[in-house]
Amino acid sequence: MPSPNGPAPPTNGRRRGPIVLLVLWVVALAGLGLYADGWSTDNRIERWGSQLDRDVSWEVLRDRFGGDEAVLVRLGGFGVEDAAAQAFAEQLGAELPKQAAVEDVVSPLSLLNRWPWPVTEPATNLERLVRGLDLQADGPPRIDFVLRIALGATPAERADLARSLDDLRERAKAAGLGLRYAGHPLVSAALDDEARRVERTFVPLLVLLAALGAWAFLRSVPLVAVALLPAATASVGSRAAARAFIGPSDLILVAVGPITFVLLLAGTLHVVLRFQHHVGAGMAPREAARAALLDKRLGCSLAALTTAIGFAVFRISALRSVADLGTLAAAAVLVVTPLSLFGSTYLLGALRSSRGSATASARPWRKLAAFVARRRGLFACAAIAVLVAGASTPTFLQTATDGLTYFAADHPVRVQFESLEAEGAGLSSAEVMIERKDESAWTVSQLASLELARALLAAPGATHVVGPELILDTIASGAGRLAAMPLLRKAGRLDESGKIARWTVRFPNGESEQTDALLAALHGVADARVPEGTAYVSGSLVRLHEVQATLVGTLARSLGLTLIATTILFLIVVRSARELLAALMVNLVPVAVILVAAVALGIPLDGATTMVAAVVLGLAVDNTFHLLHAAGPMPRTPRSRLHAFAEVGGAATVSSFSLALGFGTLLLSGFAPTSRFGGLCAIGAVAAWAADLLVLPALLPWRSQRRG
């Protein structure tokens, strides 16, 4: 029987239960965090290329020639006859081949040592070969070293190469010389550094700012802590799962932590704010927690299921990193949402006291909904205009062609890359490989008669071509020509079987349309000039271009499938066709806003920005489900709809603007994918809030709805 003096105080077991749960939760979170901290990063072009479907041309280049990645090292700043520069160049020639990532070094100095065959006028022809390889040129004296990167070079070995080149540059500077170096392998190494910086600097900053934004509304440290626990669990847990089951991180997978954090924080804030509302209405914490769970469990569950499906459809992507991110995000949402609902409310019920929200705080949202409903025509027309604008953006969206533009204009990697290209060094290349259809080996006379290099050089954008002709032109006829075959293999112009010949076509970085035109021209020239052969056109950058081209298709297909799944799940809470149409339009408005913003701001599609639409759709769906569910069962009257906006408006505002503030901190990053992702997500979070509170009231039916 209850005590006549009032309810019995909680037992020690009841007091200890939440403490034990909290301690176990924090310990598990710390353990996962330590494990996830060892998640390595790998942004090699070869790894990106291997994620696509099988490509015969890529396999020929990789298996027969060991790939095509290279780094150009240019020594300059010296006179025509400078003994000190010559001595430093010889040091470079000795030190560069020692790097673990380097398979071979081609330079004027190395050619002197690898030319054992008879030549006509050796000095003259060797000079012609050096100039043909573009290792020296007219103008200011320079010596170029081309480092061929080993196919199996690890990210750590590439990072070591970058650091060694930095040291050599300082040594050259001390000697009064200039040393510059550039190449896509160095770009990949710099991308790895930036991805680690995002994880260790900007993701914690996002969490901190989102927490401060939530505290500004909740004014309670315990409530903010309870809201953050599930979000942090999803973020850290998804990263730990990626390390355990998927492999290294990259520019796409690095986003899984921030994405899962914001999705779970948005849902948990609805529960916490509902608990705060009930406490403000006079309920004890335990009863308030139970009431909040009953109020929000269906809305949170449906929103989580919709969001999980939205990310799961990324499995259709041809790019494995996109598919893996979708799997991780979907799993995190499905696993942590029940923990958020039941674990958080259990902890909330154990709070001895909590700051309640005044009931008057619901009045602004009730008034705003009534205001929009009275002027529904204006707001509905604005929403339709935004949707039409968003639907027209796919034709204007650009795709990022490579990783160079990810860096700020003053980043050392980009500065050196662009300065060398300004001097005519085409640092991007396409490899044209031709195999005889009769499967016989190429002969010297056949290769010499092709004259394919000159035809390939005429392709739009091509700046330099290195083919078998360049080496054959320096060698005498007769026995010398026969001895050329081993040299052609050593120079990578013939494979070991002698059946596949190779031409390297260099070109500067450009837009995707320019790259498409160049590749089409190379195919056409090879097929026309060598009808007796089968032409393969590939290359690391070509493969990366194909990777980028898949992003637009991934965005369109994922949005389409997510919309279908969202429609089905909305049928659980809507009560009429008009409600369903209103809900779908409201959730498409923020997606349209970010698409328009991307076009207006000149933001191209890359691995990070492709994820923004799914994140924004998840935030919008979360608020919409809560608004529709809060309106209650049929009949739905104007009073019940106003009650729904009064109940959910505050929570939607807290979650949306807290996340917008957190995402906005990513704009401080000098790394373009991070800043673009953060900026578009911040815009999308505000747009999702505006769609739910300014567009939904204009589209919903306000007359009483009855069954039948």
Among 81-85, 442-446, 684-688, name the most confident range.
684-688
Domains of the chain: 70-150+152-182 (3.30.70.1440), 189-403+545-699 (1.20.1640.10), 438-531 (no CATH)
The model's confidence at residue 546, banded by pLDDT at 50, 70 and 90, is confident
pLDDT in tens, 491-538: 788 999 999 999 999 888 766 778 888 889 999 999 999 999 999 998
Residue 60 CB partners (closer than 8 Å, separation 6+): 433, 435, 500, 536, 538
CA-based max dimension of the chain: 116
Q: Tell me the per-residue pLDDT of 247-263, one tens digit each, with 9 for 90 and over.
A: 999 888 888 898 899 88
CA neighbor of 67 nearest in space, from 518, 431, 509: 431
- Is the omega angle on the peptide bond into residue 258 within 30 degrees of 0, that is, cis? no
pLDDT band at 136 (very low <50, low <70, confident <90, very high): low
Q: What is the pLDDT of residue 240?
A: 96
Can you read off the two tokens belonging to residue 527?
């097929």
Distance of CA 490 to the CA centre of its chain: 38
What is residue 485's three-state secondary structure?
Answer: helix
Q: Among 80, 70, 74, 71, which residue's Cα sits nearest to residue 419?
A: 74
At residue 155, the pLDDT reads: 92
Q: Are 25 and 229 in contact (CB under 8 A)?
A: yes
Terminal-residue alpha carbon distance, the chain: 49
Among 325-329, 430-434, 621-625, 667-671, which is the least confidently predicted range?
Answer: 667-671
pLDDT at position 292? 92
Give the C-alpha separation, 197 to 207, whole Å. Answer: 15
Q: Is 372 exposed, middle or buried (0-12, 13-18, 19+ CB in 10 A)?
A: buried
SS3 of 88-111: the string is: HHHHHHHHHHHCCCEEEEECHHHH
Confidence of residue 166 (pLDDT cuts 50, 70, 90): very high
- Cross-strand partners of 392: none
Give the model's pLDDT for residue 119: 47
Range in 111-115, 248-252, 586-590 the model is least confident about: 111-115
Question: Helix, strand, or coil here: 174?
Answer: helix
Q: Is a pLDDT exceeding 80 seen at residue 49?
A: no
- Cα 39 off chain centre by: 16
105 forms beta bridges with 147
568 versus 480: which is more confidently predicted? Answer: 568
What's the average model confidence in pLDDT over 218-222? 87
User: What average pLDDT does this structure show over 346-359?
Assistant: 70
> What is the bridge-based pairing of β-strands 143-149 and 500-507?
unpaired
Q: How confident is the model at residue 239 (pLDDT cuts 50, 70, 90)?
A: very high
CA 568/CA 550 separation, integer angstroms: 28
| Residue in this structure with the two tokens 């049928």, named with its chain if needed | 571
CB atoms within 10 A of CB 564: 10
Highest averaged pLDDT of the listed ranges 83-87, 226-230, 447-451: 226-230
The pLDDT of residue 8:
47
Q: In sequence order, what DSSP letters do the residues of 352-415 get, joined into one string?
A: S--PPPPGGGGHHHHHHHHHHHHTHHHHHHHHHHHHHHHHTGGGT--B--SSGGGS-TT-HHHH
SS (H, E, C) 197-257: HHHHHHHHHHHHHHHHHHHHHHCCHHHHHHHHHHHHHHHHHHHHHHHHHCCCECCCHHHHH
Give the HSE-up count for residue 574: Cα atoms under 13 Å, Cβ half-sphere: 19
Residue 552: pLDDT over 70: no
Q: Locate tokens 């590939």: which residue?
A: 538
Cβ atoms of 700 and 627 closer than 8 Å: no
Name the more confident of 15 and 413.
413
Q: Specify the higher pLDDT residue, 313 or 324.
A: 324
Interval 182-194: pLDDT, tens: 988 998 899 898 8
Sequence length of the chain is 708
CA distance 289 to 258: 27
Query: Tokens 């969001």 map to which residue?
Result: 307
Vertex 334, ends 608 and 328: CA angle to 5°? 35
What SS3 class is residue 502? strand
Q: What is the pLDDT, as a whole number, of residue 708? A: 38
| Spatial strand order in the sheet of 533-538 | 464-466, 500-507, 428-436, 533-538
Strands 428-436 and 533-538: antiparallel
